[in-house]
Amino acid sequence: MDTSFIDGLKYDANSLIPCVAQDAETGEVLMVAYMNKASLKDTVEKKLASYWSRSRQKYWVKGESSGNTQEVKEIRFDCDKDCVLIKIKQNGGAACHTGKRSCFFYKVTDEGLVEDGVQVFNPDDVYGK
């Protein structure tokens, strides 16, 4: 597969591009992460979502520790080519490292910010304390 288009995308000052991961079947937004050229190239070629961790400063394949991998079904870019949208099949049920289905589990209500969402696994059991 020709991946030469990767060089023509717009990356930030840290050579990263934001990526939205969306459930290919339901449209639910599961997470936002960042990719560098290497992780984007691997994602395109291997059809398995790979990212750059800004906190750990390292490349990672989603689900390498938890088993909750993301099979890539479609990849799109916005009009400015500075944001990636990947439509994925979320294996294992949880996209979030907290064990929730989606990283977007905080909801604004009249009472303020409340936690909402499906807990798929206990992160202490998967990653340790």
Residue 31 to residues 1, 7, 59, 87, 92, Cα–Cα distance (Å): 26, 24, 17, 11, 15
DSSP string, 61-125: ETTTTTS--EEEEEEEE-TTS--EEEEEEETTS--STTSBS-S--EEEETTEEEE-S-B-S-HHH
Strand 29-35, strand 84-90: pairing? unpaired
Name which of 1, 97, 87, 92 is nearest 46 in CA terms.
1
pLDDT given for residue 55 in this prediction? 95
Q: How confident is the model at residue 59 (pLDDT cuts 50, 70, 90)?
A: very high
Structure tokens at 32: 């936002």
pLDDT tens-digit profile of 102-112?
Answer: 999 999 999 99
pLDDT given for residue 128 in this prediction? 86
Q: How confident is the model at residue 13 (pLDDT cuts 50, 70, 90)?
A: very high
pLDDT given for residue 1 in this prediction? 85
Residue 83 has pLDDT above 90, yes or no: yes
Residue 129 has pLDDT above 80, yes or no: no
